[in-house]
Chains A and B, each alone.
Chain A
C-alpha cells in the first residue's frame, strides 16, 4: 500500500480566514484599547475616583464585587486601572471574539456547505482545525496584549500621582491572555463537536457566562466562597498576579487549553461532518 505525504499546511486557508475575521478583530481591539484609556482617564484623578466610587456604592454590591470589590479605593491606582480589565463590557468583547471565531470558521463553514469544498482539496481535517485554532487562540492572546498596550498608552497620556506598575499589568495581560485563549479553546471544542452553528455558540456562551457568574457570586457572597475554585477566573486571581508570576496557575491554564484543543481535534477528526 502506498502512503502519500501529508498535504502542505493550508496557508491559503489561514490567510483567507484571517482576512474574514480581521475587521471584527480590529473593531474589538479598538474598543478594548479605548476602554483602557477611558478608565485611566477617570482613575488618574482622585476627585473623579471619589465620584466613581460613590456611584459604585449606589449600585448593588455585586457589581462592585465584579469590578474589584474592596480593592477599589482612593489611592489604589492599580486596582482602579484594572477595572478596565474585568469590566463586563470588556469581557463581553472578549467573549464575542472567543465564541464567534471558531464557531464561525468551523461550524459556520460546515453549515454553509463550504467545508465540503475545502475538504475536497488537498487539506486534512486536522489542518483545517489547526487554522481555526491558530486564529482563535492567537487572536484572543493578541487582544489581551492590546488591552495592555491601552494601559501603557493611558499611563503616558494621563499624569498619575503614583507610579503605575506596568510590569504587573503585563503579567495580568499574559495571564488574561492564557485565560482568554482557554475560553477560545472551549469554543473551538464546541465548534468541532456540534453540527449546528447555534448549538456551538449556545454551549460556548453558556460555559463562559456560567464561569463568570459563579466567579462574581462566589467573590461577593461569603456563603458561596467554596465555589471560587470552580471557575477558570480563579486561575487569574488578582492577588496572586500582583505579587509575581503565578506559574502554577499558568501551568494549569495552559494544560486546560492544550487538553481542550486536543480533545476538539480528536472529535473533529473522527466525526462525520453533516455535509
Chain B
C-alpha cells in the first residue's frame, strides 16, 4: 500500500482551475519531486492533501486513510512544511515549536527538536520574529521533522538556506526516506530535486504532463550536440525545414551548439557535409528537461506526455 495515493484530484476556484485529474502515488521510503512553475497547482495539491481545501473531485488517501477536509486526517504522522511558513512572531522558537508538537500529543519530540536545532545551528531561545529568513526556514524544517513523521509534505524546504544548511536539509530528507518515510517534495530548485528524488511529476496549468524517474525525464528531453569545425571551414545555416526539431543553442565562428529531439541521424548527416574537428554531447540537466515542458504550447505538452496515463509510475 502506498503512503500517499492521489486519485483524479480536481480542484476549481470558481471558474479557475487549480488542478485537474491529477493522479499519483508515493511509496514509503520514496522521495517524490513535485515540479511546476508558479500557479501550476502544486500548492493546491498539497493543501488538498493536508485537508486544508475541499476537493472538487477525486480522492486522496494518506497511510491508507481517506483524507476528509478539516478533520486532521493522519496529521499526527505527517510533517508539513508550507511554502509560506509563518509562525507566531513574538513567541520564542522553542515555545512555538513546542506548541505545534503538543498539538499532536508531543510524543517525546523535545529531544528530537534539540537535536535538529543543533544540527541546523539554530538558537531556539530567540523570538521567531527576530530571526532572519534563513533561520525562520530552519524553524519550519524543525517543525516538520520534530515528531518523527511517516509522511513528509515539504513545499520549498530549502528556500532561503545557505548551501551548507541546504545540504543538511537534504541529508535530513534522505535520512527520513531511508527510515521509511514517504516524502513529497515540491520545489523550484531542480538540482535539489535531482539530488534527492527518485521520481518526479511535472505539473502544468493544473495538469500532470510528466511523471517518471528523474533519469527518464532527463533523457526524454532535448539532446545536445556541440560541434567544432576545422579552421576556415564555412558552415551554412541549419536548414530548419529539413531538420525539424533542431534548435540552435549557440553559434560562434567555427562552433555550433544545437539541441535536437529524437534521432541524431539527420543532424549528423547534415554536419558531415563540413570538415569537423571534434564533437561533444553535453549532458541535459533536469532543469533543461523541465524548461522544455514550458516552451511547448499547452496542448503539445499534454499530448506528447499524456497526463491521463503518465509513464513509468504506478507502484
CB distance from A123 to the nearest CB of B (A): 5
Whether A12 lies near B88 (C-beta < 8 A) is: no
Whether A7 lies near B87 (C-beta < 8 A) is: no
- B104 proximal to A (CB < 8 A): yes
Whether B72 lies near A123 (C-beta < 8 A) is: yes
Interface residues of A in 101-121 (CB under 8 A from B): 112-114, 116-121
> B-side binding surface: helix, strand, loop or mixed?
loop
**What is the 8 Å Cβ interface bit string for chain A, positions 110-147, against chain B (1 contact, 0 not)?**
00111011111111111000000000000000000000
Whether A117 lies near B53 (C-beta < 8 A) is: no
Whether B103 lies near A114 (C-beta < 8 A) is: no
Whether B88 lies near A114 (C-beta < 8 A) is: yes
Known: A112-B86, A114-B87. A119 touches B99 (CB 8 A): no
Whether A119 lies near B54 (C-beta < 8 A) is: no
Whether A1 lies near B66 (C-beta < 8 A) is: yes
Contact-residue size bin, chain B (C-beta under 8 Å from the other chain): 20 to 34
B51: which A residues are within 8 A, CB to CB?
119
- A239 proximal to B (CB < 8 A): no
Q: Which of B47, B70, B72, B100 contacts A275 (CB 8 A)?
A: B47
- A69 proximal to B (CB < 8 A): no
Known: A12-B102, A119-B70. A7 touches B76 (CB 8 A): yes
Interface residues of B in 61-76 (CB under 8 A from A): 64-66, 70-76
What residue in chain B is nearest A272 (Cβ atoms)? B53
Whether A125 lies near B88 (C-beta < 8 A) is: no
Whether A113 lies near B72 (C-beta < 8 A) is: no
CB distance from B104 to the nearest CB of A (A): 5
Whether A275 lies near B52 (C-beta < 8 A) is: yes
- A16 proximal to B (CB < 8 A): yes
Known: A4-B73, A275-B47. A123 touches B103 (CB 8 A): yes
CA distance A273 to B51 in the complex (A): 11
What residue in chain A is nearest B59 (Cβ atoms)? A1
- B82 proximal to A (CB < 8 A): yes
| A-B residue pairs, 7 tightest by C-beta | A113-B86, A125-B70, A121-B103, A120-B80, A12-B102, A122-B75, A122-B76
- A13 proximal to B (CB < 8 A): yes
What residue in chain B is nearest A12 (Cβ atoms)? B102
A4: which B residues are within 8 A, CB to CB?
65, 73-74
Interface residues of B in 41-98 (CB under 8 A from A): 47, 50-54, 64-66, 70-76, 78, 80, 82, 84-88
CA distance A16 to B98 in the complex (A): 11
A120: which B residues are within 8 A, CB to CB?
50, 52, 75, 78, 80, 82
- A8 proximal to B (CB < 8 A): yes
Whether A122 lies near B103 (C-beta < 8 A) is: yes
B78: which A residues are within 8 A, CB to CB?
120
Interface residues of B in 22-57 (CB under 8 A from A): 47, 50-54
CB distance from A109 to the nearest CB of B (A): 9
- A161 proximal to B (CB < 8 A): no
CA distance A16 to B51 in the complex (A): 23
**What is the 8 Å Cβ interface bit string for chain A, positions 3-31, against chain B (1 contact, 0 not)?**
11011101011001000000000000000
Known: A2-B65, A12-B99, A272-B53. A119 touches B72 (CB 8 A): yes
CB distance from B43 to the nearest CB of A (A): 9
- B158 proximal to A (CB < 8 A): no
CA distance A1 to B67 in the complex (A): 11
B104: which A residues are within 8 A, CB to CB?
121-122
Extra inter-chain contacts (16) besides given A4-B74, A116-B82, A124-B72, CB under 8 Å = A4-B73, A7-B72, A13-B99, A114-B86, A116-B52, A117-B87, A117-B143, A119-B52, A120-B78, A121-B104, A122-B76, A122-B105, A123-B103, A125-B71, A272-B52, A275-B52
CB distance from A218 to the nearest CB of B (A): 42
CB distance from A15 to the nearest CB of B (A): 9
B47: which A residues are within 8 A, CB to CB?
275
Q: Which of B52, B65, B84 has the most CB of A within 10 A?
A: B52
What residue in chain B is nearest A120 (Cβ atoms)? B80
A113: which B residues are within 8 A, CB to CB?
82, 84, 86
CA distance A83 to B87 in the complex (A): 44
- A171 proximal to B (CB < 8 A): no
CA distance A94 to B84 in the complex (A): 36
CA distance A8 to B106 in the complex (A): 12
CB distance from A207 to the nearest CB of B (A): 26
A2: which B residues are within 8 A, CB to CB?
64-66
Whether A7 lies near B64 (C-beta < 8 A) is: no
B74: which A residues are within 8 A, CB to CB?
4
What residue in chain A is nearest B140 (Cβ atoms)? A117
- A269 proximal to B (CB < 8 A): yes
CA distance A177 to B167 in the complex (A): 57
A119: which B residues are within 8 A, CB to CB?
50-52, 70, 72
CB distance from A228 to the nearest CB of B (A): 41
CB distance from B46 to the nearest CB of A (A): 10
28 inter-chain pairs at a CB distance below 8 angstroms, sorted by A residue, are A1-B65, A1-B66, A2-B66, A4-B65, A7-B72, A12-B99, A12-B103, A13-B103, A112-B86, A112-B88, A113-B84, A116-B52, A117-B80, A117-B85, A117-B100, A118-B103, A119-B51, A120-B50, A120-B75, A120-B78, A120-B80, A122-B105, A123-B75, A126-B70, A269-B70, A272-B53, A275-B47, A275-B52
